[in-house]
Amino acid sequence: MELIVTEKDNAARRIADILSDGTADAERVNGVNVYGWGGTRVIGLSGHVVGVDFPPEYDDWRDVEPHELIDAPIDTQPTQEGIVAALRRLARDADRVVIATDYDREGELIGKEAFDLIREVDEHVPVDRARFSSITDREVIEAFENPGSIDFDLAAAGEARQTIDLVWGAALTRFLSLSAGQLGEDFISVGRVQGPTLKLLVDREREIQAFDPEDYWELFATLTGDEGAFEAQYFYLDEEGNEARRVWDGAAAEATDESLAAAEDATVEEVNRRTRSDEPPAPFNTTQFIRAASGLGYSAQRAMSIAEELYTAGYITYPRTDNTVYPEDLEPEELLESFRKTFFGESVEELLDQDEIEPTEGDEETTDHPPIHPTGEMPTDLDDDEWEVFELVVRRFFATCAPAATWEHLRVVAGIAGESPLPSGGGRGLSLKANGKRLLSAGYHSVYPYSSADETIVPDVETGDELAVSESHLDAKETQPPRRYGQSRLIETMESMGVGTKSTRHNTIEKLYDRNYVESDPPRPTQLAHAVVEAAEEFADLIVSEQMTAQLEEDMRAIADGEKGFDEVTEESRELLGRVFEDLTDSREEVGDHLRNSMKADKILGPCPECGEDLLVRKSRYGSYFVGCDGYPDCEYTLPLPSTGKPLILDEECQEHGLNHVKMLAGRKTFVHGCPLCKAEEADAEEDRIIGECPECNEEEGGELAVKQLRSGSRLVGCTRYPDCDYSLPLPRRGEIEVTDELCDEHDLPHLVVHSGDDDEPWQLGCPICNYREFQARDVGSELETVEGIGEKTAEKLESVGIEDIEGLKQADPEELAAGVDGVGAGTVRDWQAKAD
């Protein structure tokens, strides 16, 4: 039997379909999908199916000092036991194995892990390596007809990264967490790449906070001639003789404004026309793809996730690449031709009408993968986001095959007679200028709408023309601080500094969000982030040094090239970390105090109305959030917070109470809660509205159902006998609730209508009991998300394997369902089923 091993199940399914010419059937081996035809079987892994960790005796954070992890042994253990068991079982019957994981450092390591598992079963079975950059018929068939061998050096580079990241991350995370007393799920995470990335963000935030704005003024006037009117801007010559538009002296600005307002006409002194060629963009590498996708509103993580799905489905080439030069064997005409009879047909016709097609080239050329481009396969089953990203990739390829655009630029300078308080840009008097641009030839813009092709029209004028002056105005402005890094710009900066790799940078940013180091988008560092960076700078600056991280990345490239060995690089890294701990250990108390104070600052809302101490966001022993006084136990003042989401303190402050507003982060369900005290007072002032009898206790105790406004900001239909009877039904948080006269035949409760206050039609909620599930589905987007532990992404994964509702989840076999969903174990499925009952 020939056994083919791919990186994921969907890749296995597609490769089996290609190689079998559509005849492969699916079977289950140890609960894992296996695709077979004739004497061939294809199994997909789930990324890494084994992981590295320290032996169990190092698990107890309190008994093992963090520095002991530096030289601790490292074990490799299965993390996906069902897949590992299936692979071993299939390997026993294999007389040939082909590793077909992704062709990059991480993919080679995953392939090598599979190789090691197979060797445990059979030491002699031949193992080949198939490499391809797109999962298309031509590339896959060619790769399997011309296999190579596993690149053990490249795999060793991936293994070195894995080992170094484990040692650095575990040791530093434990040290900082123990120093600050932050254990459990609130531990303080730091890593080899996280540290320098965090410092980038903190340094930029420091620049913003230290920025001292300067006042300046700009002046404008409308000029009108025979061909029409246009706006022109005042300018003068600075001390170096350069044109300047910003006036830094307020008195001079006022005097100039008065002169412009009094002026009636201006004379055209200069007309300058020139054409400029606007070259099409280079092919996409990973960084530039992420940058372009961010312009469409996609985070780096989301953009790469979609790109990987498109790659696995065979629609685009491998999305993790530094290359910006198409390979010589790429035939652009042939690839364009494949889109002629599709949605893109008009653009294709335009491109193929050229006499010659010479695709653009970027500065970086590598030999592993081509730039990201479409494969020529036209999808039919994409959702809106996937289609938008696919179209972006297709049109970027089109743009690289398109001609340059041509612009005409027009500069007009006009003078106004009189005295100027500043050196004039022309002769004497005041000088005004206008810059226009007109697209003469659209070039690549006609097939790539993501680059601006906006025109600024200035009417034709000639030197000496007299123009009427009107509508002058003076704009007072301030200089602006540097902008925060957007995710794509941050990734570009990380790339230029050698921090991280094309495969890891977007994941690093996601980790910073997950660990509460950054908030909002563009990412803004929290007080915790400032504290970690400040502590590192003072006591162990290597933690946040980009030079150290860049050097380690260079060492891993040297391993891949066979210039250095795994042991040499990992040992150097351990020695480096040992020196870091020499500095840290002596300052443990100072580091802990600094972190604790900063984490407290991240949680302060404002003054307690009862004692004046700080009100803080706190977490109860049950995991819920609330607002409590820092003066506890002397002051027991508290305020509730919504049960959905994780609180984020905003800069906006309540004018009445002096408390910062709170935002609840809950993925797609994120919302602004506002001032917690305002919400509590609103609830106290609103009386319950009785709507009927409580179905659980009315008969015996006389309980009634009422529409209630809770102090946490939530609303519900609940029993008036609470807490003796806790029967309740949730209601939407937003919108005015109308109690109608129409009654439910089954429950004798009035129908409810929710008015959102915008142009949307009112939501006919109906009987709150009958429509409880409907409310849940509308509020969370999927019935599955009403089960604790299932979020939006997990619900999408479950729906992709046919589990569309709670009933389907309850009926599913836990082992089979876990095998079909990445990152989910059978125990987790059983927990969901128990919570769904």
Backbone angles phi, psi at 381, to 5 degrees: -135, 35
Distance CA 195, CA 500 (A): 11
CB-neighbour burial class of residue 329 (10 A; exposed 0-12, middle 13-18, buried 19+)? exposed
Q: Hey, CA dihedral for 323, 328, 329, 333, is it positive or negative?
A: positive
Q: Check if 318 is active-site.
A: yes
Distance CA 590, CA 331 (A): 63
Q: 693 near 744, Cβ under 8 Å?
A: no
Catalytic residue among 318, 444, 485, 517: 318
CB-neighbour burial class of residue 124 (10 A; exposed 0-12, middle 13-18, buried 19+)? exposed
Distance CA 171, CA 153 (A): 27
Q: List C-alpha distances in Å: 587 to 176, 528, 575, 624, 756.
A: 11, 18, 19, 34, 55
H or E element, residue 297: none
Q: Please list the helix, strand and coil fractions of the chain in percent, rounded to the nearest 5, in that order.
A: 40, 25, 40
Q: List C-alpha distances in Å: 119 to 94, 97, 127, 201, 236.
A: 11, 11, 9, 45, 77
Two structure tokens written together for 536: 């590192």
H or E element, residue 520: none
| 3-state SS, one letter per residue, for 171-240 | HHHHHHHHHHCCCHHHCCCCCCCHHHHHHHHHHHHHHHHHCCCCEEEEEEEEEEECCEEEEEEEEEECCC
Q: Hey, CA dihedral for 689, 690, 695, 697, is it positive or negative?
A: positive
Distance CA 421, CA 406 (A): 39
Q: 412 near 268, Cβ under 8 Å?
A: yes
CB-neighbour burial class of residue 696 (10 A; exposed 0-12, middle 13-18, buried 19+)? middle
DSSP 729: E
Distance CA 32, CA 132 (A): 24
Q: 119 near 151, Cβ under 8 Å?
A: no
Distance CA 754, CA 40 (A): 59
DSSP 124: S
Two structure tokens written together for 25: 């059937």
Scored b (16 or more CB within 10 A) or e, 70-98 reads bebeeeeebbbebbbbbbbebbeebeebb
Distance CA 699, CA 717 (A): 18
Q: 425 near 414, Cβ under 8 Å?
A: no
Q: 79 near 49, Cβ under 8 Å?
A: yes
| 3-state SS, one letter per residue, for 600-669 | HHCCEEEECCCCCCEEEEEECCCCCEEEEECCCCCCCCEEECCCCCEEEEEEEECCCCCCEEEEEECHHH
Distance CA 800, CA 777 (A): 18
User: Length of the chain in residues, anyone?
Assistant: 837
**Total Cβ atoms within 10 A of residue 105:** 27
Scored b (16 or more CB within 10 A) or e, 728-758 reads bebbbbebebeeeeeebeeeebbbbbbeeee
Active-site residue set: 318
